[in-house]
Amino acid sequence: MTRALGLPLLVLAFFLAAYTVLEANRYLASLLFQEAEVLAAYFRVRRDASLLGVRVTQQPESYLPLIPSCAT
User: Per residue in 37-55, pLDDT tens?
Assistant: 887 877 777 766 665 666 6
Give domain status of residue 58, yes or no. no
Give domain status of residue 37, yes or no. yes
Q: What is the pLDDT of residue 45?
A: 74
Give domain status of residue 64, yes or no. no
Compute how many other C-beta atoms are within 10 angstroms of the C-beta atom of residue 52: 14
Give domain status of residue 67, yes or no. no
Q: What is the pLDDT of residue 33?
A: 92
Domain that holds residue 15: 2-51
Residue 30, pLDDT > 90, answer: yes
Give the confidence band of 67 by pLDDT, cuts at 50, 70, 90. Answer: low
Compute how many other C-beta atoms are within 10 angstroms of the C-beta atom of residue 17: 10
Question: What phi, psi does 25 have (nearest 5°)?
Answer: -65, -40
Number of structural domains found in the chain: 1
